[in-house]
Structure 1
Amino acid sequence: MAEVWQWLLDHGVVVITYLFLAIDVILRILGLILVPRNRRPGSALAWLMAIMVLPIVGFPLYLLLGKAELPRKRREKQKVVNRLMHARAQDIPDSELDEDAPSWLQSAVRLNRELGAFPLTGNNVADLEIDYDTSLARMAADIRTAQHEVHVLFYIMALDAVTEDFFAALAEVADRGVKVRALYDHLGSLTHGSVYRAMRRHFDAHGIEHYPMMPVKLFRDGAFQRPDLRNHRKLLIVDGQIGWLGSQNMIAAHYNKRANIRRGLHWQETMARLRGPIVSEMNLLFSTDWYYESSEQLPMETVVTTPEDTSGTYECQLVPSGPGFVFENNLLLFNQLFYSAGQRISAVSPYFVPDESMLAALVTAARRGVDVELFVSEIGDQFLVFHAQRSYYTALLQAGVRIWLYQAPTILHAKHVTIDDSVTVIGSSNMDIRSFLLDMESSMMIGGTDFMAKMHEVENAYRSRSRELTLEEWEQRPVPMRLLDNLCRLASSVV
């Protein structure tokens, strides 16, 4: 034993060197075998570059963040959820598009039904709210009308000075016997510290049943789970009759972050309030997420209800997406609409990091004469994403896309698209790779000329608060900034 120990002392450096080289080669070979399987070429190349440059760091990161899927037991549960969604969606009546609707819109409806199970519903009422405090006040007022149940799901929920009345409304109805169920993303809400804990204490004090979605447990269900798979949806349903959907989280507009308050940053949102048959689709989506986290199947008669208000004229269809679905539902929907547009595309997205197919769809639309405009923020709150999205501006501007920069210190966090005068898509989905692959999202497709007029009013308001970026201005930016943008674009491909 002493001789072996002495030999290791004498030759340790050589042994460690050869061992390191062996591990280095093995990790590179494993990377070449594992990374390209069922992965976009751009993403595969980015991961392979990370592994080849520094295998000891790159390969463990790939194991941690390289697979955009749920662990086996969670996937099995998701299959149950999808079957449940398909079965219960049969009880929601189908609607037909107006005779003057373009043929491509019917194709989009069929695509959405195939991807997400939900039918097109008619006779819906919808309006918009873009004032942050007013939308909170209106949601609280709707909650106070509840007689049976309230369902709340937000990526971020926190009890602070701005959201206090919303949570007070939930407590009031819970105290008088209304069933309140609440879901919030674990990581999205947990990072807000004291106001997150205050919300949980508030729920417990008033007997409100609540669960964190996608809780961060690396080895939950007996298998490794990628920690950045998140539920990014925002939904509020009252008695199955009133529904809210959009981009706004349940937190103060500055997100209670000292850096945001110091810089004067605050978030601009767009929310839609809906009544009619579409609210049952929203309730059904909530019920699947509820089952996913609580294992409780909500009674069918409380999930799909007969709408009290069918006076509306809008056709609506809900489109869920996320890692639990086989296809990237939101990406396929956006691309279908972009290629179908004949006159106009107006897109609003705070985080615009498209994959190759979406970039091609927008550039192609602009090149064939469609009036394409993109609203983004002049400043960013996420360094990597902000600089990655800037790397796409040159190709868009050269193709003729008009880029509107929503002026600082506001972060334009709204997420919606209008196509011609035919259809709107609004919801929680950004136009970035994370929203396409990693986040559970909810988007709503809404048709109706009256609703399009409302959307154009919102776009006009955002345009009045923005300045247009020109190709001449963009080409004059410093070379170091160009290099930084392109480097961040490469890093953003590693998903």
Structure 2
Amino acid sequence: MKNTVRVLLFLLILTGAIFIFRENLESELFRIFSLIITFSVFFIGLVIFLENRHPTQTITWLVVLGSFPLLGFIFYILFGRNYKKERIFRKKYFLDKQAFLTVEGEANEIPANRQSKYAGQQQKLVTLAQRLGNSPISFTTETKTLANGSETFEHILQELKKAKHHIHLEYYIVRDDEIGKEIKSILCRKARDGVEVRFMFDAVGSWQLSKKYVADLRKAGVEAVPFGPVKLPFLNNKFNFRNHRKIIVIDGMTGFVGGLNIGDEYLGRNKKIGFWRDTHLMLKGDAVRSLQLIFLQDWYYMTNKSLLTEEYFPHVPAGRDLGGVQLIAGGPDNEWTAIKKIFFSMITSAQKSVWIASPYFIPDEDIKSALQIAALSGIDVRILMPNKPDKRIVFHASRSYFPDLLEAGVKIYEYQHGFMHSKIVIVDSELASIGTSNMDMRSFHLNFEVNAFLYRTESTRKLVNEYVNDIKDSKRLELESFGKRHIGYRLLESTSRLMSPLL
């Protein structure tokens, strides 16, 4: 199948060249190649049909291919080839699962002395997360929510400087700017001092990262590895599956996860974007083992080097009950779309409230229906989003969902103080998720993501307070006024939404 698509792509490029110089070609030859591209589009349409995707995706692809054959063909090659993702990542999924069983053992049950505190919906969610993510729950891990780039990078820089044995970093976007250079300097210095430093960055997300930046790291002794390198995007069937995770593990004892990449814009230094509102999480304790394991399995996937040894999983003494913490990895290698299903369970189990913050909101029918039903049932459902785009198509596609949600009683707020990039779900002020996953189909089905799920922790209470403050800096949308927006915006939103199932 892969070779067939590559041949078809070659024919498409050749056809384009013929189109450019068509005046110098016989009309009969031009018609022959027109038939070839028509056959190519028909073939792809048949492949999409036989993949048994969601009907919305199938119909959308067929409409695009039928209406715009040449453009649809190119778009499919770039973003649509999901037919092999199970085969591509099946081996990784089973290796990851086996690694969790080897390091962590069978997923643990909530101890008897904590059953009363974590009864009901917490117990069900813990069980679901364990079965979907193969991840244990920790009750003695210290967590600290970090609001915005200044607080986040202050703590990250402090902890990096304390490293004694190893530093592991995994990021979607890394920039060679002021904060990027500062982190590079620390990593190089630590590597020269004998600390093991491993640095993984997504090849597409960090495509602007200079070769000199990576060369400087390697020269100092840092092992720097791109995730999913793409030499020829059109011919690479992994182009559409990106590593969106943001992970730091220091000495196996301290970890970071959340929404911030490495770049000056996350510190509000981009004048066009302005203030960047985001949320990160620092962890100290045995839940860091799960974060470590996620990193090491990604490292093994790219380097074929296994590091599942005791030195990377130090023993953590038992401590007092600080609330439950679970780290869940999601991605195209996961057969259960774990993070989406946990989100769905959180929404449908809510008794009082569901509060969501996401910069990119393109729900599938499951999530959309769950939110509508919760709101219609009297649950306080809120969605907090940015009021200005950094990705225009996604921004306008998100707004196309607003009327149906507003009609059901969902409260939608647009953040006014800058750009909202936090990725938060809070249920009943007791359960919370914080991590890298957006509330959209790309995060659910295509990206490698990681989220921390918190159960009655001090960090959960802080997230609640921060969310309330963010609402004060936001404008609530009203159904009546939103429905009066210009027809041009509606057309743009509908067009963007039509494209969203393709991504």
TM-score by length of 2: 0.88
Q: Which residue of 2 aligns with 1:39?
A: 53
Q: Which residue of 2 aligns with 1:147?
A: 164
Once the two structures are superposed, the pairs formed by residues 182-221 of structure 1 within 5 Å of their partners are: 182-191=199-208, 193=209, 196-218=210-232
Q: Which residue of 1 aligns with 2:18?
A: none
Amino acid at match of 1:153: E
CA distance in 2 between partners of 1:460 and 1:416 (Å): 13
Residues 1:235 and 2:247 aligned together: yes
Q: Which residue of 2 aligns with 1:366?
A: 375
Q: Say which SS state the counterpart of residue 253 (structure 1) adopts.
A: helix
Match of 2:196 among 170, 179, 186: 179
Amino acid at match of 1:227: F
> Does the Cα contact within 8 Å between 1:244 and 1:274 map onto a contact in 2?
yes
- Higher mean alpha-carbon deviation, 318-327 vs 367-376, is at 318-327
> Does the Cα contact within 8 Å between 2:78 and 2:240 map onto a contact in 1?
no
Deviation string for 1:420-468 (max 9, x for gaps)?
1321111000011111111100011111153322111111221122121
Match of 1:165 among 174, 182, 206: 182
Match of 1:441 among 449, 453, 459: 449
Residues 1:86 and 2:101 aligned together: yes
Match of 1:66 among 65, 80, 84: 80
Unaligned runs of 5+ residues in structure 2 are 1-22
Deviation string for 1:127-179 (max 9, x for gaps)?
11113122112111111211211111111122421344333332332222111
Identity among equivalent pairs (%): 28
Q: Say which SS state the counterpart of residue 35 (structure 1) adopts.
A: helix
Q: Which residue of 1 aligns with 2:304?
A: 295
CA distance in 2 between partners of 1:56 and 1:242 (Å): 50
Equivalent residues, number: 477
1:15 offset after TM fit, Å? 6.1
Q: Say which SS state the counterpart of residue 467 (structure 2) adopts.
A: helix
Amino acid at match of 1:448: R
Compared CA separation, residues 297 and 226, structure 1 to 2 (3 A): closer
Compared CA separation, residues 22 and 283, structure 1 to 2 (3 A): closer
Q: CA RMSD in A?
A: 2.6
Match of 2:480 among 461, 472, 475: 472
CA distance in 2 between partners of 1:74 and 1:345 (Å): 33
CA distance in 2 between partners of 1:361 and 1:126 (Å): 29
CA distance in 2 between partners of 1:93 and 1:336 (Å): 20
> Does the Cα contact within 8 Å between 1:276 and 1:309 map onto a contact in 2?
no
CA distance in 2 between partners of 1:107 and 1:407 (Å): 37
> Does the Cα contact within 8 Å between 2:431 and 2:460 map onto a contact in 1?
yes
- Higher mean alpha-carbon deviation, 22-31 vs 135-144, is at 22-31
CA distance in 2 between partners of 1:360 and 1:463 (Å): 24
> Does the Cα contact within 8 Å between 1:318 and 1:445 map onto a contact in 2?
yes
Unaligned runs of 5+ residues in structure 1 are 1-8
Compared CA separation, residues 295 and 266, structure 1 to 2 (3 A): farther
Q: Which residue of 2 aligns with 1:3?
A: none
1:188 offset after TM fit, Å? 0.8
Compared CA separation, residues 337 and 91, structure 1 to 2 (3 A): closer
- Higher mean alpha-carbon deviation, 274-283 vs 114-123, is at 114-123
1:353 offset after TM fit, Å? 0.5
TM-score by length of 1: 0.89
CA distance in 2 between partners of 1:227 and 1:276 (Å): 36
CA distance in 2 between partners of 1:320 and 1:77 (Å): 12
Deviation string for 1:342-385 (max 9, x for gaps)?
10001010000111111001011000010000110000100110
- Higher mean alpha-carbon deviation, 331-340 vs 444-453, is at 444-453
CA distance in 1 between partners of 2:149 and 2:52 (Å): 41
CA distance in 2 between partners of 1:241 and 1:436 (Å): 29
> Does the Cα contact within 8 Å between 1:429 and 1:442 map onto a contact in 2?
yes
